């Protein structure tokens, strides 16, 4: 079974969404982990926007990348520029490293409608990226 690590800054939003989609789309064909270079806790709006797409991430936890030391990674996916630029070295010579910077909807200030739209846009972009990866790699 392949091991996939999804990294973000705080493991609260974008990496959690990607984790949810990959776990759903791969249905046991890979072990999916998500982590951050910091931990910020699970973002309640990320949980809600994923639930709108019938993906339950409410049981996920916010984990630090150091917690997964020693796992043989097949894929390491960074979903924000900050994590890509500041992640500590992860010894994984066989891993395919992928990067895509998704906008961070948790940073947006605005009306509830604007914030919801930002979360929805990021979620949909992550879903599309995850589907492309699954099609290409599995």
Domains of the chain: 2-137 (3.40.50.2300)
% of the chain with per-residue pLDDT over 90: 90
Q: pLDDT tens across 32-51, in order?
A: 999 999 999 999 999 999 99
88: confidence class by pLDDT, cuts 50, 70, 90: confident
Whether 5 shows a pLDDT value over 90: the answer reads yes
CA–CA distances in Å: residue 71 to residues 52, 65, 138: 32, 11, 20
Q: pLDDT tens across 10-22, in order?
A: 999 999 999 999 9
Catalytically active residues, by annotation = 8, 80, 87
> In the predicted model, what is the mean pLDDT of the chain?
95
In this predicted structure, what is the pLDDT of residue 93? Answer: 87
């Amino acid at each position: 079974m392949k091991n996939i690590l999804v990294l973000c800054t705080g493991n609260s939003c974008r990496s959690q969404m990607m984790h949810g989609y990959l776990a759903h789309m791969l249905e046991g064909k890979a072990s999916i982990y998500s982590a951050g270079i910091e931990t910020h806790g699970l973002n309640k709006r990320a949980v809600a926007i994923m639930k709108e797409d019938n993906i339950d991430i409410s049981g996920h936890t916010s984990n630090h990348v150091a917690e997964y030391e020693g796992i043989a990674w097949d894929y390491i996916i960074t979903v924000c520029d900050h994590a890509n630029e500041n992640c500590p070295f992860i010894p994984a010579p066989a891993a395919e490293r992928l990067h895509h910077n998704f906008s961070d909807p948790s940073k947006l200030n605005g009306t509830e409608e604007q914030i919801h739209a930002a979360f929805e846009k990021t979620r949909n972009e992550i879903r599309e990226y995850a589907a492309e990866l699954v099609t290409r790699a599995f």
